[in-house]
Amino acid sequence: MIPFSERPYIFINSAMSADGKLSTFERKQVKISGKADFDRVDTLRAGTDAIMVGIGTVLADNPSLTVKSEQRRLERTAAGKEENPIRVIVDSNARTPIDADIFKKGKGRKIIVVSESAQKEKTAALSKMPDTKIIVAGSDRVNLEEMAVLLKKEGINRLMVEGGATLNYGLISVGLVDELMIFVGNLIIGGKTAPTFADGDGFSEGQIRRLTLESAEKIEDGILLTWKMKSE
Ligand SMILES: NC(=O)C1=CN([C@@H]2O[C@H](COP(=O)(O)OP(=O)(O)OC[C@H]3O[C@@H](n4cnc5c(N)ncnc54)[C@H](O)[C@@H]3O)[C@@H](O)[C@H]2O)C=CC1
Ligand SMILES: Nc1nc(O)c(N)c(N[C@@H]2O[C@H](COP(=O)(O)O)[C@@H](O)[C@H]2O)n1
């Protein structure tokens, strides 16, 4: 485990259906949160140094990961920060499209974390995008622990993760998650191949991770659960 002083504080914010799905079997983005929850997410975004997603989420949702409220952006700039937190994509093979919204919408730094096996032409093209830095961590796949240490060196002390299913599992499995905020919405999505909150290989019985419930808050017709990871 990486000592806490050498990595950012890392929390995941996700929205899942009552049956634990992040989206449909077609991997199409579903609005699980309502207006109030999206506003809460915007406050969280404004209060972090960086927002991270996996490449699967970029390819499926094409998110911009910007702070939506002008007032919150102004408060950030008044405090000497950039309008938007640094946007980080975990992208082992440098598959991020150069026309992705992350490059088109909102000002601020972007970091694409790739592995050594990513094609050099692809990383070169991404490194030419404005305000974009490439970080290499890991040989075939991004090594998340190495990445966390490098992100701390970039000045990221508080990191918000917005999925998806594979990245959530990957971070939890290497002990890199401190807190989870899961909004459970009032819908059933179903489907055995639809992404769940944490996919990946799954934990065997002896490896199951345990949580401590911090709070449960009703928001519109859903519930926001805030959990801390129990130390292993
Ligand atoms: N409801 C919600 O809050 C959210 C829903 N989603 C949904 O989740 C789905 C996307 O999830 P996934 O396909 O699982 O993609 P993902 O966003 O978790 O990205 C997975 C990719 O991350 C990369 N990666 C590199 N190194 C890794 C490592 N060591 N561990 C784990 N991942 C690593 C791999 O290339 C892997 O394919 C979409 O359907 C999207 O709509 C995504 C974000 C939030
Ligand atoms: N909090 C939350 N609730 C939902 O219902 C969602 N579908 C998501 N998805 C996440 O939000 C990203 C979109 O961000 P932008 O609006 O483009 O800035 C999406 O990619 C998921 O990470 N989140």
Interval 36-80: pLDDT, tens: 999 999 999 999 999 999 999 999 999 999 999 999 999 999 999
Q: Which of the ligands is closest to the CA of residue 145?
A: 1
Say yes or no: CB of residue 104 within 6 Å of ligand 2. Answer: no
Q: Domain range for residue 213?
A: 6-229
pLDDT, average across residues 82-89 = 98
Is 84 a member of any domain? yes
Number of domains in the chain: 1
Q: Is residue 111 part of a domain?
A: yes
pLDDT for 231: 81
Calculate mean pLDDT across residues 147-155.
98
Looking at the domain assignment, is residue 22 inside a domain?
Answer: yes
In a domain, 195, yes or no: yes
* CATH code of 139's domain: 3.40.430.10
Which atom of ligand 1 sits closest to the CA of residue 143? 29
- Ligand 1 neighbour 165 (Cβ under 6 A): yes
pTM: 0.98
Order of strands, sheet of 9-16, starting from the edge strand that comes earlier in the sequence: 132-136, 110-114, 86-90, 50-54, 158-161, 9-16, 179-184, 222-229, 211-219
Which ligand lies nearest the alpha carbon of 44? 2
Q: Is residue 167 in contact with ligand 1, taking CB distance under 6 Å?
A: yes
- CA distance from start to end of the chain: 10
> Has residue 1 been placed in a domain?
no
Judge if the beta carbon of residue 29 lies within 6 A of ligand 2.
Answer: yes
pLDDT tens by residue, 97-117: 999 999 999 999 999 999 999
Cα separation values, 162 from 77, 213, 231, Å: 23, 20, 22
CA distance 219 to 36: 7
**122 inside domain:** yes
Ligand nearest to the CA of 101: 2
Please give the Cα distance from 82 to 100 (Å, whole number).
20
Q: Is residue 157 part of a domain?
A: yes
Residue 51, φ and ψ in degrees, nearest 5: -120, 130
Region 196-213: mean pLDDT is 97
Q: Which atom of ligand 2 is nearest to the CA of 30?
A: 7
Name the DSSP letter for residue 164. -
Q: Is residue 182 part of a domain?
A: yes
